[in-house]
């Protein structure tokens, strides 16, 4: 491999790698450009393989989804059930993380698509298509005094200890921003990694929580009660994220349409083409 790299550098007329005592220690500036071009070529080769598989074995393959806990636990199950009934030859794989992590998984080529809310940093190599809105609800143990209030306010909520979101999730900073704008400091008991952990401690009576409305299931959360607080806290947008310069197999487009019916296969393909071509 080192000989092939040296031959390529000789052909190009510049070094791709920085070396120290015959050891590779990094990329040169033009080397970074070469790697980007090579990655695009590899993506196109992968796309050719996907096209072949689409037309030779359309209903067979693997769909790997990178997604957050809330989506995997509360939003995607019905979508995946419908998808598997329509595509029995397709295996499903799920990788879980916070919104930023799931886009990193997709960016690294370890998933076919990502489903999550707003990220902590931009991902210029991904196309992010809005799917639906996630609203907020206040969750408390049944019998909690806050449930007797006719009108919920930020001041009333701040009187009780709160179990907060993971700092890496958009829900946390949107909730805290609402308090900060009004000059109110809520009492944060501790940070919970996901909605299920939050509900466990709310059920113990240790505090209240502001969670995605979709994360409340009356069939299972029998000791909890929910109140809509979408008038107090900004919601989040759920996105499906895709790598650009990648051919999407038909069953991937089918999954997206089941998740967000407004995103038809033609619309997704058009959005990808527009993103790949860039501004004119």
In this prediction, residue 188 carries a pLDDT of 93
At a CB cut-off of 8 Å and minimum separation 6, what does 31 contact?
14, 15, 16, 17, 18
In this prediction, residue 46 carries a pLDDT of 59
pLDDT at 1 over 60: no
Pairwise CA distance, residues 123 & 132, whole Å: 20
pLDDT one-digit tens code per residue, 204-228: 999 999 999 999 988 899 999 999 9
CATH superfamily name and code, 136-234? Periplasmic binding protein-like II (3.40.190.10)
- Please tell me the number of Cα atoms within 13 Å of 151 on its side-chain side: 2
pLDDT one-digit tens code per residue, 5-39: 777 777 777 787 787 777 776 788 887 787 776 66
pLDDT one-digit tens code per residue, 109-143: 999 999 999 999 999 999 999 999 999 999 999 99
The count of residues in the chain is 280
* Domain spanning 1-56: CATH 1.10.357.10: no
Sequence ranges of the domains in the chain? 1-56, 58-131+238-277, 136-234
pLDDT one-digit tens code per residue, 54-104: 666 567 899 999 999 999 999 999 999 999 999 999 999 999 999 999 999
Pairwise CA distance, residues 61 & 167, whole Å: 36
In this prediction, residue 44 carries a pLDDT of 61
Tally Cβ neighbours within 10 Å of residue 110: 12
pLDDT one-digit tens code per residue, 143-202: 999 999 999 999 999 999 999 987 777 788 899 999 999 999 999 998 888 899 999 999
Fold match flag (58-131+238-277 vs 136-234): yes
pTM: 0.78
**Residue 74 β-bridge partners:** none
pLDDT one-digit tens code per residue, 237-274: 999 999 998 889 999 999 999 999 999 999 999 999 89
- CATH, domain 58-131+238-277, list 3.40.50.10860, 3.30.1330.50, 1.20.210.10, 3.40.190.10: 3.40.190.10
Q: Is the distance from CB of 82 to CB of 92 less than 8 angstroms?
A: no
Pairwise CA distance, residues 106 & 65, whole Å: 8
């Amino acid at each position: 491999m080192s000989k092939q790299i040296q031959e390529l550098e000789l052909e190009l007329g510049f070094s791709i790698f920085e070396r120290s005592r015959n050891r590779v220690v990094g990329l040169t500036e033009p080397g970074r450009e070469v790697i980007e071009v090579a990655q695009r070529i590899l993506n196109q080769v992968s796309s050719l393989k996907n096209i072949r598989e689409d037309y030779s074995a359309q209903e067979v393959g693997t769909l790997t989804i990178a997604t957050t806990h809330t989506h995997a636990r509360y939003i995607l199950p019905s979508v995946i059930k419908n998808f598997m009934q329509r595509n029995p030859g397709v295996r499903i794989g799920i990788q879980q993380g916070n919104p930023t992590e799931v886009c990193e998984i997709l960016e690294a080529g370890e998933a076919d698509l990502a489903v999550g809310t707003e990220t902590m940093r931009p991902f210029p190599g991904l196309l992010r298509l809005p799917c639906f809105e996630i609203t907020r609800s206040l969750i408390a143990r049944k019998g909690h005094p806050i449930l007797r209030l006719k009108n919920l306010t930020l001041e009333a909520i701040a009187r009780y200890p709160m179990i907060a979101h993971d700092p890496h999730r958009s829900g946390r900073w949107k909730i805290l921003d609402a308090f900060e704008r009004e000059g109110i400091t809520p009492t944060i008991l501790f940070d919970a990694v996901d909605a299920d952990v939050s509900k466990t401690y709310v059920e113990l009576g240790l505090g209240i929580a502001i969670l995605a409305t979709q994360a409340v299931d009356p069939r299972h959360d029998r000791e909890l009660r929910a109140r809509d607080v979408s008038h107090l806290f900004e919601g989040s947008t759920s996105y499906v994220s895709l790598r650009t310069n990648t051919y999407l197999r038909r069953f991937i487009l089918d999954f997206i349409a089941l998740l967000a019916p407004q995103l038809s296969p033609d619309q997704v393909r058009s959005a990808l083409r527009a993103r790949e071509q860039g501004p004119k």
